[in-house]
Amino acid sequence: GAVVSQHPSWVICKSGTSVKIECRSLDFQATTMFWYRQFPKQSLMLMATSNEGSKATYEQGVEKDKFLINHASLTLSTLTVTSAHPEDSSFYICSARDREGGRTQYFGPGTRLTVL
Amino acid sequence: QQQVKQSPQSLIVQKGGISIINCAYENTAFDYFPWYQQFPGKGPALLIAIRPDVSEKKEGRFTISFNKSAKQFSLHIMDSQPGDSATYFCAAIYQGGKLIFGQGTELSVKP
């Protein structure tokens, strides 16, 4: 099956620093990747859609200057949380579609971000 | 109209029993309905999915029942096991659209 990896799996950082999270599709090429945020006991909230070679599309209320997304290749998308604050602490999960126009999204294992 | 409503919020089932989770939607443009299983601290994993031209799909102990006219679909877990204890999310999507998740159901299977 399609495998998506994330790195790191968890990260602790100080307030004001920036953190980069990588999302890779390991056995398929993904023209579109997605970034979600999940708070405890809640559903996944879509933050942005990342298209290879173009700018990401952000959901309403998501600060594009704070959550920088880069989709430099067909197998890699990165999310950088800039000037992180404690309220950015959350579980960040990426997903990837396995083909153009496909409906199925495969999710990564998630990254737990804790901002002190 | 983009919402997918999921119930119950939590569910406790005895080992060997049947777990049933229900979802309802409004947008008739949805044409693909996946279910995801999520363990604590992990990302969601695709469990089973169905298209609206099929009324039922079974994979092992997991069955999706789909009622297009009622705009409802459900997940049945037969012979539930403690290892099935997880949070389950239904979802819906249409081509070019976003994956819309239900609120999630926390399932606990007691030995």
What does the pLDDT look like over A11-62, one tens digit per residue?
999 999 999 999 999 988 888 999 999 999 999 999 999 988 888 999 999 9
| pLDDT of A100 strictly over 70 | no
- How far is residue B78's CA from residue B73's CA, in Å, rounded to a whole number? 16
Report the pLDDT value the prediction gives residue A96, as an integer from 0 to 100: 93
The answer to whether A93 contacts chain B (CB < 8 Å) is: yes
Chain-chain contact of A49 with B98 (C-beta, under 8 angstroms)? yes
Chain-chain contact of A106 with B93 (C-beta, under 8 angstroms)? no
The answer to whether B68 contacts chain A (CB < 8 Å) is: no
Report the pLDDT value the prediction gives residue B110, as an integer from 0 to 100: 97
| pLDDT of A82 strictly over 90 | yes
Q: What are the b/e assignments for B41-71, b being 16+ CB within 10 Å? A: ebbbebbbbbebeeeebeeeebbbbbeeeeb
Q: How far is CA B105 from the centre of its chain?
A: 9
Report the pLDDT value the prediction gives residue A72, as an integer from 0 to 100: 83
- How far is residue B84's CA from residue B18's CA, in Å, rounded to a whole number? 11
| pLDDT of B38 strictly over 90 | yes
Place of tokens 């959350």: A90
The answer to whether B54 contacts chain A (CB < 8 Å) is: no
Beta-carbon contacts below 8 Å between A and B? 50
Q: How far is CA A70 from the centre of its chain?
A: 10
Token pair recorded at residue A105: 């999204």
Mean pLDDT calculated for residue range B81-109: 94
The verdict on whether omega for the bond into residue A8 sits within 30 degrees of 0, i.e. cis, is yes
- Most A-contacting residue of B38, B87, B90 (CB-CB within 10 A), to test interface: B38
Reported as a pLDDT band with limits 50, 70 and 90, residue B96 is confident
- How far is residue A75's CA from residue A106's CA, in Å, rounded to a whole number? 13
Report the pLDDT value the prediction gives residue B97, as an integer from 0 to 100: 80
